[in-house]
């Protein structure tokens, strides 16, 4: 019933305005929550400071040990199933001429940061990462309160690449975090949610047909990108339908996605219609 030749999705973005783009990969996700409990209640930091483990300080120590000074994630077996970027992929990344300076300027940072041995664009989509998405504990309002808190919590997520499995990574993460905590605190680790990563073969006929179609519509050479985010249903489509999934996205970084005044460029709309028509024609030649 669900038989099909290919799945065509337009939910990703153009590499830049006017540049025809085929996205051939998505990162997966493993999203964890770590809660540390020190004393069984909030304490006065004067009366108890110096005698008892502080869960915020201990949580900070654990987090600081999850990524080493070379930007490598320290969880055992974390990289075990990571497929290396092929020479061809690294060549494709290079062709994108990603500008570190421009991103620094856009985000107002003096310096980018990440895993040694990879370019920024490779780190943003082709390599796994670990980020704290949230942290809280103790007194978090304006001013000062001398509390030695009972609890501290961090939300920590990892973006994954093929062939990492979020379920396995979650287990390794939990084990590692527990091994890093001192006896003076209790540790709870929760697996909040996850999704598989995927990379499609550039040699697939559907991908080739799509690349040709967008190139024809835009009147430019197509570029190939991998997306740093996740679209879990893409993995389901690929696995359940056993069909190639083509990500022929038309969005722009300036579309305010998921933000007020979200919009879609009319030029993208027209070029998208054209690209889809060309794709149907091109793909039917197979």
Looking at the Cβ atoms of 145 and 242, the one nearer to its own copies is 145
Determine if 140 is a binding residue for its own copies (CB under 8 A).
yes
286 binds its own copies (CB under 8 A): no
Question: Could you say whether residue 123 binds its own copies (CB under 8 A)?
Answer: yes
Q: Nearest to residue 166, comparing CAs of 145, 189, 193, 141?
A: 193
CB of 66 to its own copies, least distance (A): 8
Q: Which of 73, 254, 280, 278 is nearest to 172 (CA)?
A: 73
**Residue 203 binds its own copies (CB under 8 A):** no
Q: Please, how many CA atoms are within 13 Å of residue 169, restricted to the half-sphere of its CB?
A: 32
Q: Report in angstroms how near the CB of residue 64 gets to its own copies at its nearest.
A: 4
**In the range 34-53, which residues lie near its own copies by CB under 8 A?**
38-53
**Residue 99 within binding range of its own copies, rule CB under 8 A:** no
Work out the number of other CB atoms within 10 angstroms of the CB of residue 66.
21
Name residues whose C-beta falls within 8 Å of residue 131's C-beta, 6 or more positions apart in sequence.
156, 157, 158, 159
Is residue 63 close enough to count as binding its own copies by CB under 8 A?
yes
CB of 138 to its own copies, least distance (A): 4
Residues 16-35, interacting with its own copies (CB under 8 A): 27, 29, 31, 33
Selected binder of its own copies within 131, 220, 273, 281 (CB under 8 A): 131
Distance CA 131, CA 155 (A): 9
Q: How far apart are CA 4 and CA 106, in angstroms?
A: 42
Residues 171-190: x where in contact with its own copies by CB under 8 A, - otherwise, as a string: -----------xxxx-----
Closest CA relative to residue 23, chosen from 178, 222, 280, 215: 222
Q: Which two tokens stand for residue 166?
A: 């979020």
- Annotate each residue in 218-237 with x if it binds its own copies (CB under 8 A) or - if it does not, as one string: ---------xxxx-------
- Please report how close the Cβ of residue 276 comes to its own copies at its closest, in angstroms: 23
- Secondary structure string (H, E, C) spanning 22-84: EEEEECEEEEEEEEEECCCCCEEHHHHCCCCCCHHHHHHHHHHCCECCCCCECCCCCCCCCCC
Q: How far is the CB of 3 from its own copies (least distance, A)?
A: 31
| Closest CB to its own copies among residues 253, 270 | 253
What mask of x and - would describe binding to its own copies in positions 148 to 167, judged by CB under 8 A? xx--xxxx-x-x--------
SS3 21: strand
Pick between residue 132 and residue 277 the one whose CB is nearest to its own copies.
Answer: 132
199 backbone dihedrals φ, ψ, rounded to 5°: -135, 130
């Amino acid at each position: 019933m669900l038989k099909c030749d290919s799945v065509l999705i337009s939910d990703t973005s153009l590499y830049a305005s006017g540049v025809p783009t085929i996205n051939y990969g998505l990162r997966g996700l493993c999203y964890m929550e770590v809660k540390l409990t020190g004393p069984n209640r909030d304490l006065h930091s004067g009366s108890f400071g110096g005698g008892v483990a502080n869960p915020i300080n201990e949580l900070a120590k654990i987090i600081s040990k999850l990524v080493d000074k070379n930007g490598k994630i320290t969880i055992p077996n974390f990289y075990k199933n990571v497929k290396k970027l092929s020479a061809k992929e690294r060549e494709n990344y290079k062709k994108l001429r990603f500008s570190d300076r421009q991103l620094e300027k856009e985000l107002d940072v003096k310096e980018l940061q990440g895993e040694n041995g990879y370019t920024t664009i490779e780190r943003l989509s082709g390599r796994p990462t670990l980020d704290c998405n949230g942290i809280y504990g103790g007194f978090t309002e304006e001013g000062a309160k001398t509390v030695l808190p009972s609890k501290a919590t961090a939300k920590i997520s990892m973006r994954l690449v093929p062939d990492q499995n979020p379920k396995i990574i979650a287990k390794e993460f939990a084990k590692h975090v527990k091994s890093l905590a001192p006896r003076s605190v209790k540790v709870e680790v929760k697996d909040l949610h996850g999704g598989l990563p995927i990379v499609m073969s550039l040699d697939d006929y559907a991908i080739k047909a799509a690349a040709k179609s967008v190139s024809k519509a835009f009147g430019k050479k197509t570029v190939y990108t991998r997306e740093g985010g996740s679209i879990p249903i893409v993995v389901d489509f690929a696995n359940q339908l056993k069909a190639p999934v083509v990500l022929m996205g038309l969005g722009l970084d300036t579309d305010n996605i998921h933000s007020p005044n979200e919009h879609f460029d009319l030029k993208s709309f027209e070029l998208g219609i054209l690209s889809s028509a060309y794709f149907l024609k091109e793909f039917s030649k197979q």
